[in-house]
Amino acid sequence: MTVVMNFLKRSPFNKYRFLSVISSSRCASTLVLGEHENGHMKQSSLSAIEAASRAIGVGEEENSISVLLAGSGESLQKAVSHAAMSHPSISQVLVADSDKLAHPLAEPWAALVHLIQQSGGYSHIIAASSSFGKNVLPRAASLLDVSPITDVIDISGPKLFVRPIYAGNALCTVRYTGVNPCMLTIRSTSFPVSLNSADSRSEAAPISQVDLSTFSEDSVGKSRYVNHTSQDTERADLGSARVVITGGRALKSAENFQLIEKLAAKLGGAVGATRAAVDAGFVPNELQVGQTGKIVAPELYMAFGVSGAIQHLAGMRDSKVIVAVNKDADAPIFQVADYGLVADIFEAIPELLEKLPSKK
């Protein structure tokens, strides 16, 4: 594959913008790979639907959006009902009900996408840049012999996309000129679902069952589902929380990290951590924020003892308001912070816990 990159301009925020020509046809129909849990579509999948609807808005042709949900049992049926009412842009919900798809493994899901594309002929296939999307989409793209575009943060046209490169320090504009389908993953934080769109349908979208009579057994068995673990907590989800409180290695121990957890609980927010804090064993890796962790864009992001390594900034730079507390006045985090306090975090956090009112 030949990639041509032309330098365009330098942005005011030390970001460079490039035009990258990969390979195009006009937009006609979109398949969104939906994730569900406990009978509900995940917020990241709703963002993928929002991205697909924006692609319609910039296209010249009317587009249809199909949402694919797979699995088995009562949880799937509840998720299907929720999806059918979740967004006004959805044209239909496709349901693949099979025990082979009970767990979101890459092999059977990729084979399913290949099967549906052969019959549906979609021009676009979109998934969120979650663990699920990053696992399934590249394998499905390989089966379909196309090149996927990952981590899209903006859609400028049916085949024109913007994605970050160099840990978010540059933006690359990519024009896809290959054969259908154009496959992409999107950063859910860049496509928030408006309150007017979420659960705003007056009538449910049509629901269709996928014919799995030709679904290949060869796609099942290459990997094996072992178990699923998650934190048993009522705290907000890190990926979609409005407030995120993050701690760094400066907290020194897992016991001290409880200060971050107490502050997050008081503000009704989620707990985040730097890679250094995760590697030190203070918190599990599911709380890592950054280029190799989760990408977040909350309304309020508070960083305590976070130096501001470029890999961490790549995961939170889109936050609406950034507050940083660090005793090092030269810490890079202050360069992106809206509010900064040079102070000892072991003095600042207890004072905040004492003076901040609890979230009602």
Q: Which residues are annotated as a binding site?
A: 249, 274-275, 288-292, 305-312, 326, 344-345
Q: From CA 250, how far away is CA 233, in angstroms rounded?
A: 25
The Cβ-side half-sphere exposure at 312, using a 13 Å CA radius, reads 25
Sign of CA dihedral 164, 165, 171, 174: negative
Q: From CA 137, how far away is CA 240, in angstroms rounded?
A: 22
- Cβ atoms of 175 and 159 within 8 Å: the answer is yes
Residue owning tokens 């995760």: 278
In sequence order, what are the residues at sequence separation of 6 or more whose Cβ sits closer than 8 angstroms to the Cβ of residue 323?
Answer: 300, 301, 302, 303, 337, 338, 339, 340, 341
| 8-state DSSP, 135 | H
- Cβ atoms of 261 and 282 within 8 Å: the answer is no
Angle between helices 258-267 and 345-355 (to 10 degrees): 30
**Distances in whole angstroms, Cα of residue 72 to Cα of each of 86, 132, 143, 334:** 20, 17, 24, 48
- Cβ atoms of 308 and 332 within 8 Å: the answer is yes
Annotated binding site for FAD: 249, 274-275, 288-292, 305-312, 326, 344-345
**Distances in whole angstroms, Cα of residue 207 to Cα of each of 45, 227, 269:** 17, 30, 36
